[in-house]
Amino acid sequence: MKKYMILGVSILGMLIGGKTEAVAQQDTVTTETMDQEFVNRAISMNRFEIALASQAMERSSSEEVKQFAQKLVTEHSRTMEELEQAAVAKKLVLPDAIEENQASILKAVGELSGDNFNSAFKDVIVKSHEDAIALFELGGGENGINDPELRTWAGEKVPGLKSHLEMAKALEASASDAVAEALSIL
């Protein structure tokens, strides 16, 4: 458990560090690059969540986690396909890979097993969906993405992301004993 807590703190630090960097970058994004920046972040987030959910389908010891992970893979793959098609149609560049901090998180979570893996997966997927909701609300908002079709599309994805977040939080509740035990070590 102690190893999980140390890893959990470092993963959350990477997520928070990545968000801080994103906020700093947002200040320098001009209206001309907003669409491209949204596509970059949204594709990276989708790839990350698909990869994380794929790990969960292989490594999780919980049938509930595996079923949720399958749902994420299916729905985020569909979203990814829609976004890539829209980006190509609008002559936007598709990013090649996920962000560096996301790759580090995938590697760290992938080294866990059993309840430690399940707990880390739940923590990361909740945080990732919170970040995705913020991105899609911003992109779909009145002062968000410049392209009206892409802006509408982003706004339409928010309810699905919120649904995923609620499902992920429900998974967390089932692991409350493990989390309480881990916190007691601190």
Residues 142-157 have pLDDT tens digits of 888 999 999 999 999 9
Element (H, E) at 146: none
pLDDT tens sequence across 50-60:
999 999 999 99
**Token pair in block for residue 124:** 């990361």
> What count of other Cβ atoms lies within 10 Å of the Cβ of residue 74?
12
Q: Residue 14: its pLDDT value, please?
A: 53
Stretch (H or E) spanning 74: helix 63-89
Please give the backbone phi and psi of residue 146, each rounded to the nearest 5 degrees, phi first: -70, -40
What is the pLDDT, as a whole number, of residue 143? 85
**Residue 85 pLDDT > 50, yes or no?**
yes
Judged against a pLDDT cut of 50, whether residue 182 lies above it is answered with no
Average pLDDT of span 10-38: 59
pLDDT-derived band of residue 6, with 50, 70 and 90 as boundaries? Answer: very low
Q: Give the pLDDT band (50/70/90) at residue 33.
A: confident
Domains of the chain listed by start with CATH number: 2-23+34-185 (1.20.1260.10)
In this prediction, what percent of the chain has a pLDDT beyond 70? 75
Please provide the average confidence, as pLDDT, over all residues in the chain.
83
Burial of 137 (0-12, 13-18, 19+ CB in 10 A): middle
Burial 1-32 (b: 16+ CB within 10 A, else e): eeebbebbeebeebbeebeeebeeeeeeeeee
> At residue 130, does pLDDT exceed 80?
yes
Please provide the DSSP assignment of 94-127 as one string: PPSS--HHHHHHHHHHHT--HHHHHHHHHHHHHH
Predicted local distance difference test score (pLDDT) of residue 28:
53
Give CA torsion, residues 52, 56, 58, 59, to 10 deg. Answer: 110
Rounded CA-CA distance 105/120 in Å is 10
Contact 22, 41 (CB under 8 A): yes
Residue 115 token pair? 């309840």
